Amino acid sequence: MRERMLRGEPYLASDPELVGLQERAERLLDRLDRAGHADRAGREAILRELLGRVGDGVVVRPGFRCDYGGNIRIGAGTFVNFDCVMLDVAPITIGARCQIAPRVQLLAAAHPVAPEPRRAGWEHGSPITLGGNVWLGGGVIVLGGVTIGDDTVVGAGSVVTRDLPPGVVATGVPARVRRPTGGAAR
């Protein structure tokens, strides 16, 4: 089932191997929650054990949740604020120097629309990719299969259901491109 999951094919999360990987992630997340804010080295060590790749200078604030952890890659200098959820049944790749606001959800997991396979417990997933220097405002939801280009900003409360190009501001439900980001600091 793990191989099916990673290929984006339907799988059952109740598979014993997947349950074991989820339990491992939960133990590491519990340790991360208990690590004090001042224990940066300890938090970083736990993140490196939990996640697939962690660049230098990554900060993940408390309340972080994920399914497995090993399918998440975070680039250097990225900041993940409080209460972030990453359902990593497929790869979640976050570029360098991204800003992820509180309560952002990166949801690579999905369920069948048809009732019978959903009732039977089948799931599937699609990758999520954030380019470098992406800023996701508070409460943004990014669905599986989405790529967000470098330097793009997604406004608070938006739901990203489709790819966004580099260097734009997108807002809304579903998120739509509103304008280029421009070059001036503000």
CA distance 122 to 109: 11
Alpha helices in the chain (DSSP H): 2-6, 16-34, 40-50, 115-119
CA distance 77 to 135: 13
Q: What is the CATH number of domain 2-180?
A: 2.160.10.10
Of the residues 34, 48, 53, 111, only one is catalytic, namely: 111
Tokens (6 digits) for 39: 């224990």
37 is annotated as an active-site residue: no
* Domain range list for the chain: 2-180
pLDDT at 4: 95
How do residues 95-126 score in pLDDT, each as one tens digit? 999 999 999 999 999 999 999 999 999 999 99
Reported pTM: 0.95
Q: Which residues of 165-176 are buried (b: 16+ CB within 10 A; e: fewer)?
A: eebbbbbeeebe
Which run of H or of E encompasses 107? strand 105-107
Q: With a cut of 70, which residues of the chain have pLDDT below it?
A: 183-186
pLDDT at 154: 98
